[in-house]
Amino acid sequence: MSEAQMNENKQGKLEKPESEIKQMWSALIQNKAAVVGMVIIGFLIFIALFGKWLMPYDPNYADLSVNKQPPSVAHWFGTDEQGRDIFSRVIDGTRVSLVVGLTAVSFALCIGTVLGAIAGYKGGKIDTFIMRLMDIMMSIPNILLAITFMAALGRGIDKAVIAIGLVTTPEYARIVRGSIMAIKDSEYVQAAKVIGNSDTKIIFKHILPNVLSPIIVRATLGISTAVLETAALGFLGLGVQPPYAEWGDMLGRARVFIFEAPYMLIFPGIAITLTVMAFNLLGDGLRDAFDPKARS
């Protein structure tokens, strides 16, 4: 075979298509806003993991002789009303806020996925009962419902996780239900039924893996919501309790010093804003990356 014929055969061969995961990753990293979100989240995770070695002071050590000092070389973010270093407390609060946010979303995701899967797959009265319950919960503003749960459960970091997880459960249940109803009559689902697979196996092995995209996007955006609601509960004095440093609690305690020492509110507020923004940017980027039309 001549060299020209070999070149023609090479050119005639179809290029191997790029995998779906590579396409999504390529679309994600081309989204500058999503990359900014990932960088900020990576930085926050680093602070949460290694913050105790980065804090110049014990975040809970109080020294009234240096209370309400403005930012300086000794205290980069200043000190609060009890003389605690705000920089150290903001770093310590990163761990608390991320842990509460991630745990609450995981809790809501597990419950919402199970309820939504059952409702979407079974239908009928079971679907009606579960969805009406979810509708009732969604008709109440999240923060009011979270306050109600906190009043019933009591204060504490574990109670905050449960309360925030419960109020966000309906969102995941509705997403999973809608996605399952769209594909439960597909041929591969019917084939799984014919060969005798149980309903549980069909739901978790054949259906849920095909509806992960909207769930992942919503969970990413849900983390920002959970962080914000954690801060709101802390601001009201119902969330994470001392001695834990939490951004919302720091804002709540500093609000009476807004004119006397505004830096006590500024730095925790910036931390909340950056965290919420980062997860929102990443969630928007994931939504576009999972959507073939947006990628094209």
Domains along the chain with CATH numbers: 30-46+88-295 (1.10.3720.10)
Residue 38 has pLDDT above 90, yes or no: yes
Give the model confidence (pLDDT) of 44-74 as tens digits. Answer: 999 999 988 888 888 888 888 888 888 989 8
Alpha carbon distance 207, 203 (integer Å): 5
Residue 95's Cα: distance from chain center in Å? 14
Alpha carbon distance 15, 67 (integer Å): 67
Alpha carbon distance 245, 96 (integer Å): 7
The residue behind tokens 């001695």 is: 243
What single-letter DSSP state applies at residue 18? P
Give the model confidence (pLDDT) of 158-206 as tens digits. Answer: 888 889 999 999 989 998 888 888 877 777 777 877 777 777 777 777 7
Q: Residue 14 — φ and ψ, nearest 5°?
A: -75, 140
Contacts 24+ apart (CB under 8 A), 24-31: 24/289, 24/290, 24/295, 25/289, 27/288, 27/289, 27/294, 27/295, 28/285, 28/286, 28/289, 31/284, 31/285, 31/288, 31/289
pLDDT classification of 295: cutoffs 50, 70, 90: low
Give the model confidence (pLDDT) of 244-269 as tens digits. Answer: 788 888 888 888 888 888 889 999 99
